[in-house]
Every structure is written in structure tokens, then in C-alpha cells.
């Protein structure tokens, strides 16, 4: 199949379409589905495709696009705010993890040069897996998401120094055989002019790109947008990503780092949403292909030959990385759940480990057998990350919520407040402003330190805490509050908080955001007095404006929207009794939809009766 690329692509797409939805439906996540697809078609499965390296090389461009899109969401000032995490988490994790792994391997009998390089290679984490998981969970703007991002960025920047270190270590390892020549090689490697002027080139390049993004790119994007040719703007987006990646790669840096910096510099552009929309499909498809290539690259022959050794090394690697990241999270006073989540997200070895291990073998620091062994360890660690995240969600989080009182109860919470708002994002802010304008005193609680710091600049006092913890609710005065508004994200989390409130504060009124109709029914089961489906009123308001734009009188459009809302709310209440009978529920919704259409048409026809006919009827 190597000679027929179209057939190879067809096989990859067929297997991905067949397996990924199944894994998603089972609750195992899409990444595991892609990995399973790779195993199925790879050289250790049905052997439908054997060119793993080519597929991985192409698919790694998905990581580059992903970092560009992430950069579009990060303002330069946000990077400056994260400078302490860059030094503490990023550099600290890399050095500590590499040191512990290197010492462990040296104690197991490996000489110090290959032990050091393997330690540095395994200290890298997978940008693709970690950031894909961050985006799927919607935690990118949180402290956990930002901490994960800066750690990966530091690792990207460290790749080139590590690559430069490999020939130095290889030379020192051969010194006893040829002392004079090798000492010269080491001196040349250390005093190479590249190491001295590359920093100036990087700084100059960054300044040039910054100026270009401000004075050149916006006019260029405006010119392309005015042409109203969608494919031209898509081509421009790809040009920006590829150009930035090529520029940093030509300097010897990570192409993903260049793409990220380009995204950051365009974060203030009015065209960033257009760029996101055009590049998102490329990112998703290429990342899926990357995960498939990882599954194809798992050498099961090595695993079956030495299963205990391979699995022990995988457990050692994940254990060391989780331990180091968990301890570093303590210094930044992260919640225990945030520490564990960050540690699991970064617990695997990354895609750059393949490059470093291959380069080390070329420099004779590692034998071919050693490189193959560690490559399998890297691939297995990547494959285990979705499993660890599943365990974290299903077992660890419920246990933490029941047993661990961390963080401490916020101090200084006002007493006697009448309304408590849990979650002060965009949804919670609107609710708060409306209620506060009517004279209600508000207690605001959120578990995102970055958001709390942001709104503090606008004079808004928000307390840090997990709204799903009983002690936090008690400290906030829930027993005396008239209402608790649940404005956090995540349908399951909203239900868990509502259930906790209803169990411990049965008389308090609850208002909550609902994800959809099914979620609204679950809230009704818990006795939530007020809820609002997230997209319902926004869609209704847009439909009303669309009618006006199409020529309907504003008053008539308002009346039609009100009638539709009343009918839909009635159907929501009536369908509640059938929520557990899927067939009956579907039949009811279909009949109700038809009935609603007939009622609305009849109402429209009645409004269109000419005045003369009205008088005749009278």
C-alpha cells in the first residue's frame, strides 16, 4: 500500500470513522479512538499501512496549527503575567524530571551520557495530546490550561539546546579512545559561533515579526478580506502558519513555537476569528492523523519480548512526571484537583522525544535496540494519557470532592448576602448586573484565579472557591441566602452543584444555566425553580431580528417571537413526563413540532386577513 497514497488515505479515513465515534460513545474519548485506529492499520495490526514515519511527519503540522490557534487566544500581556510559571513550572519541570529520570537510569546501569539524553527526551510532553485535552475540556483560559501551555512552550524552546548537547556528550563518551581529536571536537561544539549569534538572530527576528504583524499583516488581511474570496483568506492563514513555523525552524527552534508566537502577535487583530474558522478543520484532521501515527508506531514486538521491562519503564516515567508536576503545583498554591489534572495532562513523553532519540542513535549515544525500546515507552505513555484522564474524571474527582477540604475556605466573605452567584464568567456577569441593579446584595464565587484577577481591575470583588463544596457554600452564607445562581460551565458540574444545594439547603431557590432541553429536564427533576437554556433566547432574539430584516414590522416580529416562546416553554413542561421513554419522547416532540407549525401558520393567516373582510365579519 506504500505505493498507493490515495488507498492509504482511504484506509485511514475508513478506520477513523469506524472507531472514533465508538470510543466517543463509550466515554473513552476521541484520542483513544485514533490510537486504536492506528494500531489496527499499522505494521503490528492488520498491516494495511507501514509508512509510519511519513504519516507522522505530515500530521505533526496539525500541532503547529493548534499552537497558532492557541496563540490567537493569548494576549501578549497574558504571557507576561505567566512569567513566574514559565520559570517555576516550565524550567523547573524540565530540569527536575530530566535529573530524576537520568539518575534513575544511571542507577539501573546506563552510562551517564545516554542516561542524561534519555532523561531530557522523556522530560518532554506531548503538545498534541495535552493541548487537545485542554481544548476539549474547555479549560484553556483557566490556571490549569495556562500552566500546561507555558510548560509545553518551555519544552519547545529547550529542544535546540538539547540537540546541540547530543554531539558534545557523544564526543565526551569517545574521549578515552581518541583523546586529542575528541577534545578538539568538544571544544568546537562548545565554541561554535552558532551558539553565540543565534540569540541575536532570534531577538532580531522577533522584533521584525512584531513590526510586521502590526504594520503589514493587518493591511494585508484587510486587502484579502475585501476581495471576498474565502479560499484566498484560507490560503493567507496557512501562509502565516507555515511562514512562522519555517522562520523559527530555520533558526533552529521549534516550528510549533514560531506558530504560537505568530498567533500571539495577531491576538488583537479583528480578523482572528476568521483565521480560527478557516484553520480549525485542518487542525482537527491533522491531529487525528498524528494520533493514528502514534498508534501505528507502537512496536508490539518489543513489548511482547520484554513486557515487564517495558511496562516498568512506562510506569516509572509517568510516576516521576506526575510526582514532579504535583510538587511544583504546591508552590503555586494550585487546588489539588488542578495539580493532578495538570500532572496527568503532561505525564506522557512527547513527539519531540522521537526526534531526540533518533538523533541520539545517529550520534551513537544510543544503540538501535535502545532507541526502539524508548520509542515504545514514549508511544505507550502517550496512549495511556487518555486512560489516566478517564480515571481522573470517574474516580479521583468524586473522591477529592468528598474528602479533601482544599483550598481553604475564603476569608472575608460578607455575611447576610441575599444572592450567591457561583461562576463569574460572561454568563454569571450578566445575571449579577441585572440582580444588583434591582438592589440585591451579591456574593460572587469563582474557581479561576485568572478570571478573578481580571475582574478585580474593574472593581468587582470575587472570592476564590469551588462552588461544589459544602463548606464553601456554608462560609458564603448559603443558609441565609434567598437564592443561589449556578452559572458555572459544564452540564454535569451544574447538576452536581444543584443536587448538593438541594440536599443541604432544601428551602433555598436555585437558578441555573441549562445546556439544552434534556439538561433542563434534569434540573427540573432536582427542583430547580429557574433555569434558562443557553442558546434558546439568543436564537429566538436572532430569529426576531431576522424577521424584521426580511420586512416584518418590529411589533409583529416581537409578537410572533413571544408566541413561539410561550408554545416552546409549554412543550418543554409537557415533555418532562416522557423524558425517560425515548421512543415516546421522540414521538411527542415530532407531533408537538408539527402542531406548533400549524398553530403559528394559523396565527399568521389570521393576522393577514384584510380590514374589509374584518368589517364584513362583524
Decide which of 350, 373, 402 is a domain's last residue: 402
Are 489 and 365 in the same domain? no
Residue 6 is predicted with a pLDDT of 67
Q: Which domain holds residue 427?
A: 419-534
Say if 215 falls within a structural domain.
yes
Q: Return the higher-pLDDT residue of 379 and 614.
A: 379
Q: Residue 315 and residue 336: Cα distance in Å, rounded?
A: 22
41 and 91, same domain (yes or no): no
Same domain, 572 and 596: yes
Task: Express as a percent the part of the chain with pLDDT over 90.
Answer: 6
Answer yes or no: do 220 and 345 share one domain.
Answer: yes
Q: How far, in whole angstroms, is CA 423 from its chain's centroid?
A: 20
Residue 153 lies in a domain: yes
Dihedral over alpha carbons 169, 170, 173, 176 (to 10 degrees): -120
pLDDT at 416: 45
CATH number at residue 112: 1.20.1530.20
**What is the rounded CA–CA span in Å between residue 445 and residue 455?**
12
Same domain, yes or no: 170 and 270? yes
Tens digits of residue pLDDT in 43-52: 777 777 766 6
Which range scores top for mean pLDDT: 51-65, 288-302, 382-396, 411-425?
382-396
Which pLDDT score, from 0 to 100, does residue 317 have?
93
419-422, strands of its sheet edge to edge: 463-464, 442-446, 419-422, 483-486, 509-514, 530-533
Decide if 77 contacts 52 (C-beta within 8 A): no
The pLDDT assigned to 508 comes to 87
The region of weakest confidence among 324-328, 456-460, 552-556, 562-566 is: 456-460
Enumerate helices (H) and strands (E) in the chain, giving the number of each.
Answer: 31, 6
Q: Are 102 and 114 in contact (CB under 8 A)?
A: no
| DSSP category for residue 409 | P
Is pLDDT of 407 > 50? no
In a domain, 161, yes or no: yes
- The tens digit of pLDDT for each residue in 248-301 reads 777 666 677 777 777 777 766 767 767 777 777 777 777 777 778 777 877 778
pLDDT of residue 406: 42
pLDDT, position 323: 93
Instruction: Average the pLDDT over each of 86-95, 125-134, 234-243, 431-440 and give the range with the smallest value.
Output: 431-440
| Percent of the residues in the chain that have a pLDDT greater than 70, as a whole number | 74
Note whether 188 and 326 are same-domain residues. Answer: yes
The answer to whether residues 372 and 437 belong to one domain is no
- Alpha-carbon distance values, 458 to 56, 240, 270 (Å): 47, 35, 24
Alpha-carbon distances of 429 from 416, 417, 475, 487, rounded to whole Å: 21, 17, 22, 9
Please report which confidence band the pLDDT of residue 615 belongs to, taking 50, 70 and 90 as the band edges: very low
CA gap 603, 618 in Å, rounded? 19
Residue 144 maps to a domain:
yes
Which pLDDT score, from 0 to 100, does residue 192 have?
Answer: 52
- Extract the C-alpha cell encoding 555: 411589533
Number of domains in the chain: 4
Per-residue pLDDT, averaged over 197-211, amounts to 61
Does residue 361 belong to any structural domain of this protein?
Answer: yes
**Separation of alpha carbons 354 and 356, rounded Å:** 6
Look at residues 50, 68, 89 and tell me which one is the last residue of a structural domain: 50
Q: What is the CATH number of the domain that holds 441?
A: 3.40.50.720
Worst-scoring range by mean pLDDT, 58-72, 164-178, 226-240, 482-496? 164-178
Instruction: Give the other-Cβ count within 10 Å of 193's Cβ.
Output: 7
Residue 435: how many other CB atoms lie within 10 Å: 18
pLDDT at 34 exceeding the cut of 70: yes
Integer Cα distance of 401 and 352 in angstroms: 36
If you compute the radius of gyration of the chain from its CA atoms, what whole number of angstroms results?
A: 29
Q: Are residues 241 and 363 in the same domain?
A: yes
Q: Mean pLDDT lowest for which of 28-32, 147-151, 405-409, 593-597?
A: 405-409
Under the banding of pLDDT at 50, 70 and 90, the label for residue 319 is very high
Q: Give mean pLDDT, residues 30-34.
A: 75
**pLDDT for residue 595:** 65
CA distances from 292 to 20, 53, 374, 476, 606 (A): 11, 11, 19, 48, 59
pLDDT in tens, 510-549: 888 888 777 887 888 888 878 887 767 777 777 777 878 8
Which range is least confidently modeled, 101-110, 139-148, 307-316? Answer: 139-148
Q: Which of 202-211, 405-414, 501-510 has the lowest mean pLDDT?
A: 405-414
Task: Tell me, yes or no, whether 97 and 208 share the same domain.
Answer: yes
**Per-residue pLDDT, 201:** 59
Which of 501, 534, 567 is the last residue in one of the domains? 534
Residue 527's pLDDT is what?
Answer: 80
Same domain for 499 and 563, yes or no, is: no
Q: Are residues 265 and 166 in the same domain?
A: yes
Q: Are residues 197 and 239 in the same domain?
A: yes
pLDDT at 592: 63
Q: What is the pLDDT of residue 186?
A: 47
**579 within domain boundaries:** yes
Amino acid at each position: 500500500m506504500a505505493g498507493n497514497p490515495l488507498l492509504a488515505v482511504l484506509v485511514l479515513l475508513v478506520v477513523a470513522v469506524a472507531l472514533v465515534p465508538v470510543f466517543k460513545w463509550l466515554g473513552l474519548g476521541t484520542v483513544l479512538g485514533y490510537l486504536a485506529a492506528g494500531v489496527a492499520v499499522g505494521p503490528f495490526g492488520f498491516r494495511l499501512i507501514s509508512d509510519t514515519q511519513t504519516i507522522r511527519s505530515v500530521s505533526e503540522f496539525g500541532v503547529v496549527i493548534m499552537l497558532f490557534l492557541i496563540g490567537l487566544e493569548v494576549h501578549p500581556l497574558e504571557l507576561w503575567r505567566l512569567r513566574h510559571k514559565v520559570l517555576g513550572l516550565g524550567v523547573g519541570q524540565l530540569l527536575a524530571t530530566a535529573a530524576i529520570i537520568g539518575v534513575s537510569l544511571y542507577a539501573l546501569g546506563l552510562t551517564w551520557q545516554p542516561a542524561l539524553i534519555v532523561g531530557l527526551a522523556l522530560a518532554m510532553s506531548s503538545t498534541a495530546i495535552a493541548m487537545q485535552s485542554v481544548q476539549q475540556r474547555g479549560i484553556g483560559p483557566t490556571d490549569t490550561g495556562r500552566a500546561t501551555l507555558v510548560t509545553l512552550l518551555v519544552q519547545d524552546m529547550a529542544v535546540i539546546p538539547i540537540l546541540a548537547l547530543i554531539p558534545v556528550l557523544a564526543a565526551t563518551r569517545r574521549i578515552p579512545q581518541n583523546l586529542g581529536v575528541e577534545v578538539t571536537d568538544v571544544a568546537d561544539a562548545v565554541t561554535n559561533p552558532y551558539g553565540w549569534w543565534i540569540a541575536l538572530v532570534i531577538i532580531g527576528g522577533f522584533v521584525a515579526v512584531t513590526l510586521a504583524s502590526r504594520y503589514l499583516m493587518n493591511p494585508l488581511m484587510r486587502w484579502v478580506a475585501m476581495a471576498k474570496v474565502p479560499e484566498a483568506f484560507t490560503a493567507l492563514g496557512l501562509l502565516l502558519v507555515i511562514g512562522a513555523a519555517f522562520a523559527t525552524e530555520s533558526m533552529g527552534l521549534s516550528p510549533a513555537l514560531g506558530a504560537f508566537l505568530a498567533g500571539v502577535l495577531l491576538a488583537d487583530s479583528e480578523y482572528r476569528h476568521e483565521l480560527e474558522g478557516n484553520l480549525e478543520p485542518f487542525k482537527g484532521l491533522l491531529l487525528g492523523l498524528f494520533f493514528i501515527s502514534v498508534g501505528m508506531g507502537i512496536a508490539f514486538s518489543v513489548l511482547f519480548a520484554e513486557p515487564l521491562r517495558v511496562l516498568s519503564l512506562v510506569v516509572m516515567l509517568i510516576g516521576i512526571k506526575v510526582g514532579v508536576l504535583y510538587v511544583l503545583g504546591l508552590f503555586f498554591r494550585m487546588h489539588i484537583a488542578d495539580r493532578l489534572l495538570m500532572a496527568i495532562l503532561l505525564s506522557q513523553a512527547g513527539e519531540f522525544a522521537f526526534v531526540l532519540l533518533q538523533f541520539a542513535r545517529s550520534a551513537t549515544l544510543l544503540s538501535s535496540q535502545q532507541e526502539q525500546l524508548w520509542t515504545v515507552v514514549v508511544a505507550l505513555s502517550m496512549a495511556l494519557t487518555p486512560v489516566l484522564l478517564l480515571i481522573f474524571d470517574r474516580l479521583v474527582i468524586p473522591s477529592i470532592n468528598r474528602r479533601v477540604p482544599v483550598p481553604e475556605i475564603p476569608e472575608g466573605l460578607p455575611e447576610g448576602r441575599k444572592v450567591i452567584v457561583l461562576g463569574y464568567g460572561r454568563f454569571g456577569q450578566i445575571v449579577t448586573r441585572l440582580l444588583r441593579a434591582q438592589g440585591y446584595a451579591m456574593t460572587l464565587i469563582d474557581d479561576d484565579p485568572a478570571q478573578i484577577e481580571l475582574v478585580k481591575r474593574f472593581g468587582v470583588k470575587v472570592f476564590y472557591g469551588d462552588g461544589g463544596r459544602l463548606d464553601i457554600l456554608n462560609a458564603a452564607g448559603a443558609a441565609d441566602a434567598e437564592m443561589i445562581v449556578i452559572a458555572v460551565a459544564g452540564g454535569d458540574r451544574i447538576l452536581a452543584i444543584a443536587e448538593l444545594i438541594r440536599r443541604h439547603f432544601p428551602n433555598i431557590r436555585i437558578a441555573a444555566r441549562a445546556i439544552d432541553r434534556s439538561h433542563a429536564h434534569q434540573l427540573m427533576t432536582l427542583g430547580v425553580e429557574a433555569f434558562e437554556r443557553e442558546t434558546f433566547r439568543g436564537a429566538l432574539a436572532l430569529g426576531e431580528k431576522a424577521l424584521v430584516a426580511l420586512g416584518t414590522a418590529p411589533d409583529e416580529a416581537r409578537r410572533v417571537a413571544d408566541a413561539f416562546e410561550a408554545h416552546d416553554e409549554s412543550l418543554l413542561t409537557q415533555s418532562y413526563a416522557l423524558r425517560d421513554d425515548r421512543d415516546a419522547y421522540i414521538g411527542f416532540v415530532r407531533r408537538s413540532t408539527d402542531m406548533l407549525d400549524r398553530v403559528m401558520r394559523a396565527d399568521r393567516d389570521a393576522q393577514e386577513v384584510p380590514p374589509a373582510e374584518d368589517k364584513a365579519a362583524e
